[in-house]
A and B are shown apart, each in its own frame.
Chain A
């Protein structure tokens, strides 16, 4: 190993000798590195601390930066986990046709299970596993965020790997790429753009339940982790308006910072993975990426890493003068995959048996109530989606069709869409109380707060994609107003609108859990519905009822996807797609 170290030392001193001045960009980078080191230390301190089921949350605004960092680290940790899961699960599903038949339907179901359903099992198991430290609680929290992030990323990656062009795979075969080479040079690059967009969506989705994932009640036990979400929870429970405002501000700053410092640069960088030019012609820009690219320290460490990598490769390849015929160990892979699949199926069967045993306990009367609650919540979900469409469709068209507006507003819409709506519930509830609106109708408004953005977001994208020649044709034939909408704009954005609807309705189901059962001015409020039933069951630790309600909700979501959204999506793709 010494040769490597010597080499690194040599490269570093050579760089220092070359570089005289250090630019402002370098100072910023250095400061950021210091900040990260500090944050890591602080997080580690929290993790290894003793098990304190109930942490006293300090509601002074000065405690907020620390809490925000803790929440951010949980979100990022969950994201890393989601990414790893995505790469393994998605690749497996795409490459093994036998496993695919189990993995993809399973993913479809997992996607429709509300996050809260995982909470009790995760929590009890992990706290039992680490009885003496906070690690179990932290892991449970991270895994809950993970369940809000992973599934759509996995779907995207799976679809990308499945749709790698045939000629590129042929190149990989003819030139004898190993499977790792094919993965690194062909399949992963091809999937990057889809992964980046879905990562952004996932991070936003992960924040949605932040208040629950950091502070949860399970039966007579009250768990709390220090963080932005628990800060907000405490503020809401106490009715402390000032603290709530501070929390909302901190969340906003965190989301904007993530957007500017992480996602913008990543999006710009990912542009090199486009297949061909065309589509969005406007080059994406990121001031932060520019800054990083100007930083000499980063450039030098990048170059250093590249040289060391090359040196490593040289050493690695040196003792292999003649490449032997490398056939893929297909048989080994197949056996391994079959074993894994068998294990998974076994686990699923065991889980299903457990679930059935749990559901047997639920009395018949409860099932009747659950069915009624499910129908009511379905109604709310549909009304919320319809209301969202009512304003977001015209607004989205207006924004998307005007280059000036879309340039100015699209980034704003993106940021707003990733703000976790439950943090705005207290304010919305206050307005509704003033108007004398009950939670029965009010919960629809709360759902709307979370899901309307998906519709807006997609309609804007659709409107921006309406070809200029079609718009010119409409203008020259004097098609205006309602006729223009009916004949051109609506059909053109329909595929995007359907995507928006699917996401919005899925989000609304999830949101029903927090919007039919709320805390306002220190008091619990609830209205009849499937979401409130799930929340109440979790709080009372009534596991059979919780399992039953979750099964019903997942079944509703899956059925609705199959019977309504998928046919609608097929129609939109088939009839109204402008890409063909």
Chain B
């Protein structure tokens, strides 16, 4: 059994390059929704994690970054493409990997110690080793004194320390982290990042490498050696940015801020291209997952700042995940209420008129803008032809599937009906599942 594995490892190792720990090549993945609909989440993604490096996957929500992590860990089998660990094709779970989860995923009925010991027992370590490693790991993440506490007694940051102790206790070669600090308050997250890098920096001990999934640009610039920028719908690699800044890094240093800026530009370049909005819309016309009230909030915000602002400053100042903010900007752009030259979001004249109007007139503008989109005008026309002016919800769902086959139609419908209700365009009876002309 050992023979073919060894040859495979030799075959992939090119002279002069370090053989990667985990890698995926030309991986595509399609989810089948419970309704039977296919959803393409990854399209031809290739990437590798080499020994001793921190790799970050950066991208907006819906770019499949968590799916990439799970495929590399062996939790999900990709639809197409190959996945290898240390040069051997993956069959089941990747051997040297431990995962830290976004939701912590601790067992509430176990104490801190028991949570850590559970995975050590599962790894079939002898009893003394289990006890020793557990207490070492707990001390390493600064939880000494909390050994007998239950997770419900701990704050979010402390819970994630337990999650880290659990993963580190196994001394994994690669530590996978799935948005580890997004449910931890900002200051605690800063401390945790620094502590994690201290642990990683000790060369002789594992983890050798870290794979970090994140939507936080500052986090990525601070931690990673290599940043894989992903695009969404379906997820694919846009660019890979090498980050050679010396460690330890400082969030506020000029170099780190410059890198953050560069990453911002890269992402806006991909997500909000400088082409006339109408032309872009006519081709795809995918409804961004943005509630009407938040789009209006964004317009109000822009109006209060003389009608224009840097997209990333808005994200920072409103404390929003920047991927989510991009969705809002895209939605407003689709309705011609905002324009996006470079990294700026600028109110269009119509956008300004909209913000300054009274609630009644706002509805009028909104309605007019909606009807410029096929997905709304088609349904309006169909409703007008119907003598009762009522149509079943399924009719709209079919229209959505027809126009945007790659999207989750239930989600699109929720957005669609939210926009229509805001513009007083259609009424919707949830119990009967009927859409009616207002």
Interface residues of A (CB under 8 A from B): 165, 167-168, 170-171, 173-178, 181, 185-186, 189, 192, 272-277, 310, 313-314, 317-318, 320-321, 323, 325, 327, 575
Please, could you name 29 A-B residue pairs with CB atoms under 8 Å apart, sorted by A? A167-B103, A168-B107, A170-B99, A170-B105, A171-B99, A171-B105, A173-B75, A173-B93, A174-B73, A174-B75, A174-B97, A174-B99, A175-B98, A175-B122, A175-B123, A176-B122, A177-B118, A181-B118, A181-B121, A189-B107, A192-B109, A272-B150, A274-B152, A277-B152, A314-B128, A317-B125, A320-B124, A321-B126, A323-B124
Nearest-CB residue, chain B, relative to A310:
B127
Are B101 and A175 in contact, with the CB atoms below 8 A?
Answer: no
Are B101 and A273 in contact, with the CB atoms below 8 A?
Answer: no
Q: Shortest 10 CB-CB distances between A and B: which pairs?
A: A323-B124, A167-B105, A175-B119, A314-B127, A189-B109, A273-B109, A177-B122, A171-B105, A167-B103, A174-B99
User: Which of B73, B92, B105, B126 touches A314 (beta carbons < 8 Å)?
Assistant: B126
A313/B127 contact (C-beta < 8 A), A170-B99, A174-B97 known: yes
Min distance, Cβ A338 to any Cβ of chain B, angstroms:
23
Min distance, Cβ A533 to any Cβ of chain B, angstroms:
41
Min distance, Cβ A569 to any Cβ of chain B, angstroms:
16
Please report the C-alpha to C-alpha distance between residue A575 and residue B430 in the assembled complex, in whole angstroms.
Answer: 10
Are A174 and B127 in contact, with the CB atoms below 8 A?
Answer: no
- B224 part of interface (Cβ distance < 8 Å): no
Q: What secondary structure prevails in chain A residues at the interface with B? A: helix
- Chain B CB count within 10 A is highest, among A165, A181, A185, A275, for A185
A317/B122 contact (C-beta < 8 A), A170-B99, A272-B109, A327-B92 known: no
Nearest-CB residue, chain A, relative to B114:
A185
Given A171-B99, A174-B97, A318-B126, 6 other A-B residues pairs in contact with their CB atoms under 8 A:
A167-B101, A174-B98, A174-B99, A277-B152, A317-B124, A575-B431
Please report the C-alpha to C-alpha distance between residue A78 and residue B431 in the assembled complex, in whole angstroms.
Answer: 45
Chain B residues 329 to 381 lying within 8 A of chain A, measured CB to CB, are none
- B170 part of interface (Cβ distance < 8 Å): yes
> Residues of B contacting A176 with CB < 8 Å?
93, 122-123
> Residues of B contacting A192 with CB < 8 Å?
109
Please report the C-alpha to C-alpha distance between residue A313 and residue B124 in the assembled complex, in whole angstroms.
Answer: 10
User: Which of A171, A175, A276 touches B152 (beta carbons < 8 Å)?
Assistant: A276
Interface residues of B (CB under 8 A from A): 73, 75, 92-93, 97-99, 101, 103, 105, 107-110, 118-119, 121-128, 150, 152, 166, 170, 431
Please report the C-alpha to C-alpha distance between residue A327 and residue B91 in the assembled complex, in whole angstroms.
Answer: 10
Min distance, Cβ B408 to any Cβ of chain A, angstroms:
17
Min distance, Cβ A545 to any Cβ of chain B, angstroms:
45
> Residues of B contacting A575 with CB < 8 Å?
431
Min distance, Cβ A172 to any Cβ of chain B, angstroms:
8
Nearest-CB residue, chain B, relative to A270:
B109
Please report the C-alpha to C-alpha distance between residue A175 and residue B118 in the assembled complex, in whole angstroms.
Answer: 9
> Residues of B contacting A310 with CB < 8 Å?
127
Are A181 and B122 in contact, with the CB atoms below 8 A?
Answer: yes
Please report the C-alpha to C-alpha distance between residue A304 and residue B41 in the assembled complex, in whole angstroms.
Answer: 54
> Residues of A contacting B108 with CB < 8 Å?
273-276
Min distance, Cβ B261 to any Cβ of chain A, angstroms:
35
Please report the C-alpha to C-alpha distance between residue A189 and residue B152 in the assembled complex, in whole angstroms.
Answer: 15
A178/B122 contact (C-beta < 8 A), A173-B75, A189-B107 known: yes
> Residues of A contacting B97 with CB < 8 Å?
174
Are A171 and B101 in contact, with the CB atoms below 8 A?
Answer: yes
Nearest-CB residue, chain B, relative to A273:
B109
Please report the C-alpha to C-alpha distance between residue A177 and residue B98 in the assembled complex, in whole angstroms.
Answer: 13
> Residues of B contacting A272 with CB < 8 Å?
109, 150
> Residues of A contacting B152 with CB < 8 Å?
274, 276-277
Min distance, Cβ B127 to any Cβ of chain A, angstroms:
4
Please report the C-alpha to C-alpha distance between residue A575 and residue B99 in the assembled complex, in whole angstroms.
Answer: 39
Nearest-CB residue, chain B, relative to A278:
B152
> Residues of A contacting B127 with CB < 8 Å?
310, 313-314, 317
Please report the C-alpha to C-alpha distance between residue A149 and residue B213 in the assembled complex, in whole angstroms.
Answer: 49
Min distance, Cβ B225 to any Cβ of chain A, angstroms:
24
Min distance, Cβ B290 to any Cβ of chain A, angstroms:
22
Please report the C-alpha to C-alpha distance between residue A168 and residue B109 in the assembled complex, in whole angstroms.
Answer: 12
Nearest-CB residue, chain A, relative to B431:
A575
Are A323 and B123 in contact, with the CB atoms below 8 A?
Answer: yes
> Residues of A contacting B166 with CB < 8 Å?
175
User: Which of B101, B118, B126, B128 touches A185 (beta carbons < 8 Å)?
Assistant: B118
Please report the C-alpha to C-alpha distance between residue A172 and residue B110 in the assembled complex, in whole angstroms.
Answer: 14
> Residues of B contacting A323 with CB < 8 Å?
123-124
> Residues of B contacting A178 with CB < 8 Å?
122
> Residues of A contacting B92 with CB < 8 Å?
325, 327
Please report the C-alpha to C-alpha distance between residue A447 and residue B127 in the assembled complex, in whole angstroms.
Answer: 58
> Residues of B contacting A276 with CB < 8 Å?
108, 152
- Chain B CB count within 10 A is highest, among A176, A275, A325, A575, for A176
A186/B75 contact (C-beta < 8 A), A173-B93, A175-B98, A177-B122 known: no
> Residues of A contacting B126 with CB < 8 Å?
314, 317-318, 321
Nearest-CB residue, chain A, relative to B123:
A323
> Residues of B contacting A170 with CB < 8 Å?
75, 99, 101, 105
Nearest-CB residue, chain A, relative to B126:
A317
> Residues of B contacting A168 with CB < 8 Å?
105, 107
Please report the C-alpha to C-alpha distance between residue A181 and residue B105 in the assembled complex, in whole angstroms.
Answer: 16
User: Which of A174, A186, A320 touches B107 (beta carbons < 8 Å)?
Assistant: A186
User: Which of A174, A181, A274, A275 touches B93 (beta carbons < 8 Å)?
Assistant: A174
Nearest-CB residue, chain B, relative to A182:
B122
Please report the C-alpha to C-alpha distance between residue A232 and residue B118 in the assembled complex, in whole angstroms.
Answer: 52
> Residues of A contacting B110 with CB < 8 Å?
185
Please report the C-alpha to C-alpha distance between residue A178 and residue B124 in the assembled complex, in whole angstroms.
Answer: 10
Min distance, Cβ B330 to any Cβ of chain A, angstroms:
29
> Residues of B contacting A186 with CB < 8 Å?
107
> Residues of A contacting B128 with CB < 8 Å?
314
Min distance, Cβ A558 to any Cβ of chain B, angstroms:
26
Are B107 and A185 in contact, with the CB atoms below 8 A?
Answer: yes
Please report the C-alpha to C-alpha distance between residue A490 and residue B270 in the assembled complex, in whole angstroms.
Answer: 53
Min distance, Cβ B228 to any Cβ of chain A, angstroms:
22
Nearest-CB residue, chain A, relative to B97:
A174
Nearest-CB residue, chain B, relative to A312:
B127
Min distance, Cβ A356 to any Cβ of chain B, angstroms:
38
Please report the C-alpha to C-alpha distance between residue A170 and residue B170 in the assembled complex, in whole angstroms.
Answer: 16
> Residues of A contacting B75 with CB < 8 Å?
170, 173-174
> Residues of A contacting B119 with CB < 8 Å?
171, 175
> Residues of A contacting B99 with CB < 8 Å?
170-171, 174
Min distance, Cβ B118 to any Cβ of chain A, angstroms:
5
Please report the C-alpha to C-alpha distance between residue A196 and residue B152 in the assembled complex, in whole angstroms.
Answer: 21
- Chain B CB count within 10 A is highest, among A175, A181, A277, A327, for A175
Please report the C-alpha to C-alpha distance between residue A318 and residue B152 in the assembled complex, in whole angstroms.
Answer: 34
> Residues of B contacting A313 with CB < 8 Å?
127
> Residues of B contacting A275 with CB < 8 Å?
108
> Residues of B contacting A317 with CB < 8 Å?
124-127
